Homo-oligomer: A and B are copies of this chain.
Amino acid sequence: MGKLSHWQEIPGGVAAPRSFWASGVKAGIKNSDKYDVALIASEVKAEAAGVFTRNVVKAHPLLLTQKHLANGRARAIVANSGNANACVGAAGDQAALAMARAAAEGLGLTADEVLVASTGVIGVELPLEPVQTGISQAAVELKALLQGNSKGIAAEAKRLEAAHRAALAIMTTDTTVKEFAWEMECKEGAIRLGAMAKGSGMIHPNMGTMLGFITTDAEVPAAELQRLLREAVDESFNMVTVDGDTSTNDMVLFLANGASRINPVGEEWERFEQMVKAMAVHLAREIARDGEGAGKLLEVKVTGAKTKEDARKIARSICGSSLVKTAMFGADANWGRILCAAGYSGANFNPGKVDISLGNLPVALAGQGVSFSEDEAKLILQKDEIPISLHLHNGLEEATAWGCDLTYEYVRINGDYRT
């Protein structure tokens, strides 16, 4: 973020990079008239990388995708919402494979070139026929878009609209569609980066029911792509918490198809890395902001830590504290809860040295409260982005985490999710 001088926004989401297409359809998995199957494809082979949930319970599509990623290559991503395809035994493995096969058949690929993702309720068998029908339908549309690969405004509008439907199709309780694309100028042309994500509930380090799909037309070998994705996820998706629950289905996938014919090196590679990391942070912030029932984005920045891991633990612990989250909901400058959450984070620090600020307002210095204007604090806490900063005066490391307030609406949404 804030580095937009190095790149600019463009339309198209994951289909913005050259030779990528995306589409979303209504397959009828959700009991409502909503998009629920997304298909993303590259016209040419792409280098591929992925980062996955650390939950011991892993959804069936996740296991398949890990297998298909083993060679560092992929051509397509197929995803559904409305059903997690998790904890349903052999039927789940078969369903995930059937999804890959349906996409492969529709696009003229082999099944192992297709990565599969699901999100939704756990423990219920995926209704296979509607999903397969939906995937075929999406594939038909992608091929039509591909064949009509003209540069006309009408054709381009159609392409963008289809890609937008893909971003809609992975939403569950999300209230905003998360679809972004940026372009970075290089000496020999431009590199494009596209992304879509879903978050909302069950978001926690390390990753929640979080799906993130990132595409680029830069030339990047798979190993490099994987390293960059891992670093980007560590500083973004893994620093988001909505409700402390780490899902069975999380994954972030990154495809690089090289269609720009630019292999960024030196200063261009540095800018590319920055752009990818900024995109991951941007997605993470948008996921936190749109946490289930959330009214406010919390951004907790910890500086002056002895180790990076200490800074990370404290930032995430504060973001994850139900008592901090409800205080932020109530615009209550209860900084004691912030210091307390730091205290049980498992990090090593001296509470007697900690400075705490809400926005630019210092509320505690050297571990003790300072007198501050409650009115001024209210003004800061009533905004829809609340920056909380802690200086530990214990070293040079820092970390930032994102979260949201805990509201009545969170309870309402999750009190009766299945029915």
Q: A residues near B, CB below 8 A? A: 54-58, 84, 86-89, 121-124, 201-202, 204, 243-248, 320-323, 326-327, 329-330, 332-337, 339-345, 347-349, 351-352, 364, 366-369, 406-408, 410-419
Contact = CB atoms under 8 A, between A and B. Distances in A.
Contacts of A243: 322-323
25 contacts: A56-B344, A56-B345, A56-B347, A57-B351, A84-B336, A88-B369, A89-B367, A122-B336, A201-B323, A202-B323, A204-B344, A246-B340, A246-B343, A247-B340, A248-B336, A322-B410, A322-B414, A327-B417, A330-B416, A330-B417, A332-B415, A332-B418, A332-B419, A406-B411, A407-B411
Interface centre among A341, A344, A406, A408 (most CB of B within 10 A): A344
Given A123-B368, A327-B415, 9 more contacts: A57-B367, A122-B336, A123-B336, A243-B323, A248-B336, A248-B343, A323-B414, A406-B414, A410-B411
A406 B57 CA distance: 24
Contact of A122 (B124, B202, B340): B340
Contacts of A322: 243-245, 322, 410, 414
A245 B364 contact: no
A87 B344 contact: no
Contacts of A201: 323
State the 9 A-B residue pairs at the shortest beta-carbon distance, nearest first. Answer: A122-B336, A330-B415, A57-B343, A326-B414, A123-B336, A246-B344, A243-B322, A330-B416, A55-B343
B417 A332 contact: yes
| Copies of this chain, tallied across the complex | 2
Contacts of A87: 336, 339, 351, 364, 367-369
Contacts of A202: 323, 340
A245 B336 contact: no
A339 B57 CA distance: 7
A248 B367 CA distance: 13
Contacts of A419: 332
Given A326-B411, A340-B202, A320 B244 contact: yes
Contacts of A334: 121-122, 417-418
Nearest to A365: B89
A389 B57 CA distance: 17
A33 B56 CA distance: 51
Contacts of A348: 56
Contact of A408 (B244, B335, B411): B411
A55 B123 CA distance: 37
Given A243-B323, A332-B415, A351-B56, A248 B368 contact: no
Interface centre among A323, A330, A332 (most CB of B within 10 A): A323
A39 to B, nearest CB: 26
Contacts of A369: 87-88, 123-124
A89 B329 CA distance: 28
Contacts of A57: 339-340, 342-344, 351, 367
Contacts of A247: 340
Contacts of A321: 244-245
A341 B243 CA distance: 12
A351 to B, nearest CB: 4
A201 B333 CA distance: 17
